[in-house]
Amino acid sequence: MQVEAPRRPAADYIEAVQTDVTANMRAILIDWLVEVAEEYKLVADTLYLTVSYVDRFLSANPLGRNKLQLLGVAAMLIASKYEEISPPHVEDFCYITDNTYTRQELLTMESDILKLLNFEIGSPTIKTFLRRFTRSGPEDKKRSSLLLEFMGSYLAELSLLDYSCLWFLPSVVAASSLFLARLTIGPDTNPWGKEMHKLTGYKASELKDCIIAIHDLQLSRKGPSLPAIRDKYKQHRFKCVSMLLPPVEIPALYFQDLTE
């Protein structure tokens, strides 16, 4: 977890750096990138790295809204080369934008991103931590581990849409997504105890703000109503987890630390 901080985007870049890009535009871009990742059957890590590159670029470089989609596909091109066995070609990413951008424009943006990132493109993402937490959880052998994995992935992807979630470390978002996944699947059981604290390094009280933020996204109480992630996780291959809802209110008891 020590390597999370150096490659984090700024949590306030839209207010501090951008003049033409808004949080809502960012959310719309990410919603579309989810669809692109589905279209080209990209692994989840590619999507998370793409969003990380977009946020890190925008943290340091003002961009016109007419170039936001170009930034998104160029970031996904880089992430695909890093994560995929057979990444899509440059032409595929031009095609997916209805050829709004030329091959040269895409390659130029790719170069600009790599230079700004100083070629530091391997960063731990929310997915990195979620995978580790989910597969190491000792208590979850009693539950459907696959259902838990899909639910955690769904909630973690929802967090990508919310600009305010940049305030939280990826490991915090991953742990909070797992807390809510466990709560949704077993609402009558405290989702966090000694084992989960030991596994993730976080007490429930330390995750509270992030859990509440993702809970509000899950219940559509905040954030734009963008369909791509919900529709993706309505599919049977993901056990229709986006159709499962958690309790409307999280019991205060669940945020008390039961680790002593």
Question: Does residue 260 register a pLDDT over 50?
Answer: no
The domain of 142 spans 126-255
Model pLDDT, residue 95: 92
Average pLDDT on 65-78 reads: 96
Distances in Å between the Cα of 86 and the Cα atoms of 5, 62, 82 are 30, 32, 10
pLDDT tens, residue by residue, 157-213: 999 999 999 999 999 999 999 999 999 998 888 898 888 898 898 999 999 999 999
Average pLDDT on 229-237 reads: 92
Tokens of 108: 């130029």
Question: Does residue 82 register a pLDDT over 80?
Answer: yes
Cα 138 to the chain's mean position, in Å?
Answer: 24
| CB-based contacts of 200, cutoff 8 Å, min separation 6 | 129, 133, 171, 174, 175, 178
Question: Does residue 1 register a pLDDT over 60?
Answer: no
Q: Is residue 92 part of a domain?
A: yes
- Verify that 102 and 150 share a domain, yes or no: no
Average pLDDT on 93-104 reads: 92
Q: What is the pTM of this model?
A: 0.92
- Verify that 166 and 65 share a domain, yes or no: no
Report the number of distinct structural domains present in the chain: 2
Residue 97, phi then psi, degrees to nearest 5:
-95, 15
Average pLDDT on 27-46 reads: 95
Q: Where are the alpha helices (DSSP H) in 162-236?
A: 170-185, 194-200, 204-218, 228-232
Identify the CATH number of the domain in which residue 171 sits: 1.10.472.10
